[in-house]
Amino acid sequence: MNTYDLLVVGSANADLVVGVDRRPAAGETVLGSDLTTHPGGKGANQAVAAAKLGARTALLARVGDDGHGRLLRDSMEAAGVDTSGVLVGGAPTGVALITVDPSGDNSIVVSPGANGRLMPEDVRAAGELFAGARVVSMMLEIPLETVAEVVRNLADGARLVLNPSPPAPLPDEVLSACDPLIVNEHEAKVIAGTDLGDDPEDWARQLLALGPRSVVVTLGSEGALVADAAGSQRVAAVKVKAVDTTGAGDAFTAALAWRLGTGESLAEAAAYAAKVGAAAVTKEGAQASYPTAEEVSAL
């Protein structure tokens, strides 16, 4: 019996957000809106997104002993996330500096802070979390050595979902455990280490050749492509008016990981995740924008 539908191992950041008419060029200063602070970070975002959908969710992460850390823990607990694996101390809470333009597109700079202190020994000490997890989801806002340690600590039968963001070359033991590896075009090129051309089907084939059991390529307004050894399939996007795209990819990944754990196929899970990601861009912020299952059904 699994205690958790989803265990997320990853980052927790305070998002410091400023709206701009246009993002600045190199050496340029532009005026923006008043600064707002939101709970974020890819790990915390995924955990909150899954919990709001109804998944039994836990997070293994590290935050600072500061106001930003308290903001993050409060947000996760309010969403129903099990925060027993959220460690405190070692460095200030991570911070993401985000600018958002009128179209909803964003640019982000992350100061990792405490996220960089989530170490392999923290993974080894979290055996109960791993033993109880049906699916484990990760990203790369934590040290790569910690990502590799997660692979070594997966429970028998647990499924690993990885969004390699920010992208970096991955060791074979990590790639071979991914089911799926979730990438956008930029991430796909970094992981593959080469120019992949213009055809997403080719990207998926080249990525699968590196060892993942399955691949999901997100294509923005064109939806997504799912692929495994049996072939590939397109998943349509859900058309909505975007207000803020911050954290939408995290909502997509969390929803897909959760639905895979319920027994859905990769294409079915991606189709549901596309709805969740679409709902998330219709509101400002990351975690505050994430929908409930009822809101996804209405969409």
Q: Mean per-residue pLDDT for 202-228?
A: 94
Question: Is 6-21+35-284 in CATH node 3.40.1190.20?
Answer: yes
Q: Is the pLDDT of residue 1 over 70?
A: no
pLDDT digits (tens, 9 = 90+) for 220-252: 888 999 999 999 999 988 888 888 777 889 999
Report how many helices (DSSP H) and strands (DSSP E) the chain contains, helices first: 11, 13
Is 156 assigned to a binding site?
Answer: no
Q: Is the pLDDT of residue 157 over 70?
A: yes
Distance between CA atoms of 102 and 68, rounded to whole angstroms?
27
Comparing 67 with 279, the larger pLDDT belongs to 67
In this prediction, residue 121 has a pLDDT band, given cuts at 50, 70 and 90, of very high
Distance between CA atoms of 88 and 66, rounded to whole angstroms?
9
In this prediction, residue 111 has a pLDDT band, given cuts at 50, 70 and 90, of very high
Distance between CA atoms of 241 and 103, rounded to whole angstroms?
9
Query: What is the pTM for the complete model shown?
Result: 0.92
Distance between CA atoms of 230 and 249, rounded to whole angstroms?
25
Q: Is the pLDDT of residue 261 over 80?
A: yes
> CA–CA distance from 228 to each of 197, 211, 233, 273 (Å)?
20, 11, 9, 18
Q: Is the pLDDT of residue 2 over 90?
A: no
* Burial of 83 (C-beta count, 10 Å sphere; 0-12/13-18/19+): buried
Q: For residues 234 and 223, is the Cβ–Cβ distance under 8 A?
A: yes
Is 37 assigned to a binding site?
Answer: no
pLDDT of residue 238: 84
The rounded percent of the chain whose pLDDT value lies above 90 is 78
pLDDT digits (tens, 9 = 90+) for 270-289: 999 999 999 898 887 788 88
Q: Tell me the one-letter amino acid at 276.
A: V
pLDDT digits (tens, 9 = 90+) for 69-109: 999 999 999 999 999 999 999 999 999 998 988 887 888 88
What average pLDDT is seen over the chain?
93
Is 228 assigned to a binding site?
Answer: no
**How would you classify residue 137: left for phi > 0, otherwise alpha for psi between -120 and 50, otherwise beta?**
beta
Q: Is the pLDDT of residue 61 over 90?
A: yes
pLDDT of residue 274: 94
Distance between CA atoms of 288 and 166, rounded to whole angstroms?
22
pLDDT of residue 183: 96
pLDDT digits (tens, 9 = 90+) for 129-142: 999 999 999 999 99
Q: For residues 68 and 105, is the Cβ–Cβ distance under 8 A?
A: no
Is 244 assigned to a binding site?
Answer: yes
- Domain locations along the chain: 6-21+35-284
pLDDT of residue 116: 97
Residues annotated catalytic, as ranges: 250
* C-alpha 157: how far from chain center: 22
**How would you classify residue 129: left for phi > 0, otherwise alpha for psi between -120 and 50, otherwise beta?**
alpha
Is 245 assigned to a binding site?
Answer: no
The radius of gyration of the chain's CA atoms, rounded to the nearest angstrom, is 18
Is 221 assigned to a binding site?
Answer: yes
